[in-house]
Copies of this chain bind each other. A is one copy, B any other.
Amino acid sequence: MLSTLIELQRLKRLDRTGWTLRGLPNGTESVAAHSFGVSATAMLLADKFAAQGIAVDIEKVLRIALLHDWAEVRVGDMPRTATLYFGSEARKKAETAAFSDVVADVDEGLYSSLYDDYERRDSLEARLVKAADVIDLLIQVLALERAGARGLDEFWEVAEKPEFNLEDKAAQIVQELLQSILNARRELHNNV
C-alpha cells in the first residue's frame, strides 16, 4: 500500500498545465488540489440529488471523484491539445493502463472497474462526477478571474451547453448550479 500512497502523493506537486500554458504562475493549482475540489463538489451535488429523491450511490461517487485523475501521476496532466495528436482513444487506453499500474498493489478489481465506469460515463455516479469535474474547473476559473486573471474565456464555453447526459431532475440541479456560476461571473465583470 505504501508504494501506491507515495506515488499518489506526487499529485500534490503536479501543476495543472492548463493554467501555466495560459501564463498563470506555476503552482496555481495542483492535480491533487483539483481532485479535492471535484470530490467536495461531487459530495454536495450527490447529497442534493439524494435530497430530491434521485437514487445515487454516494460512496461510489466519492470513490470515483477521488481516483479519477490518478493516472496523471504516470502520464502527466496533458494539455487538451495533446488529445488531438494522440487521439482520444489512445489517450484513454494509455491512461487506463497507467491507472491500472498505479493501483496494482492495492486493487482487488474495484478501483479499475470504477475508473472504467468513469471513462465510459456508464453510471449516474460517473456522470455526476464528470459534472463536478467541470464545475470545479469553472469555480477555479471564476476565482482566478476574481483575482485578476484574464484570457480564460474558452473555459466558459462548456458552461453554455453542458453535455452530461443526466436525466431530467439531475440535469436541472446541475444546470441551476452552472447558471449561478455564470451569473456570478457576469456580476464580477459588470463590476470591473
Could you list which residues of chain A lie within 8 angstroms of chain B, going by C-beta atoms? 1-2, 4-6, 8-15, 17, 20-30, 32-37, 39-41, 43-45, 47-48, 51, 58-59, 62-63, 66-67, 73-79, 81-82, 84-86, 90, 93-95, 97-98, 106, 108, 110, 135-136, 139-140, 142-151, 177, 180-181, 184, 192
12 contacts between A and B (CB under 8 A): A1-B177, A9-B143, A11-B33, A12-B33, A15-B20, A32-B37, A47-B108, A74-B81, A75-B78, A85-B98, A86-B86, A148-B151
In the complex, which residues of chain B have a beta carbon less than 8 angstroms from the beta carbon of A1? 44-45, 48, 177, 180
B39/A180 in contact, CB under 8 A: no
B21/A14 in contact, CB under 8 A: yes
Question: In the docked arrangement, what's the CA distance between A5 and B184, Å?
Answer: 12
Identity of the chain B residue whose Cβ is nearest the Cβ of A38 in the assembled complex:
B36
**Stoichiometry, copies per complex:** 6
Question: Given A59-B59, A85-B98 in contact, is the A12-B40 Cβ separation under 8 Å?
Answer: no
Contact of A36 among B12, B25, B146, B192 (CB under 8 A): B12
Chain A facing B: main interface SS:
helix
A-B pairs, 9 with minimum CB distance: A23-B147, A85-B94, A26-B26, A59-B59, A12-B33, A62-B62, A148-B150, A32-B33, A32-B36
